[in-house]
Amino acid sequence: RLNFIDVYTMCSFSWESTYFEKQSRIKNQEMWMNASLVP
């Protein structure tokens, strides 16, 4: 669980890396969704 200081530190420290991590995480979720949809 994140508190405000953790979020602020993450955003100020490395916003780009967290952004790309989120993008890759979304892609992984999409891949898992597609894999689960395919019989």
Task: Write out the DSSP string of 1-28.
Answer: ---HHHHHHHHHH-HHHHHHHHHHHHHH
pTM of the model: 0.38
Q: What is the pLDDT of residues 5-32, one digit of tens each?
A: 787 776 666 666 677 778 888 888 888 8
By the 8 A CB rule, do 10 and 18 touch? yes
Please classify residue 10 by burial: count the beta carbons closer than 10 Å to its beta carbon, then call 0-12 exposed, 13-18 middle and 19+ buried: middle
Q: Residue 4's pLDDT band (boundaries 50, 70, 90)?
A: confident
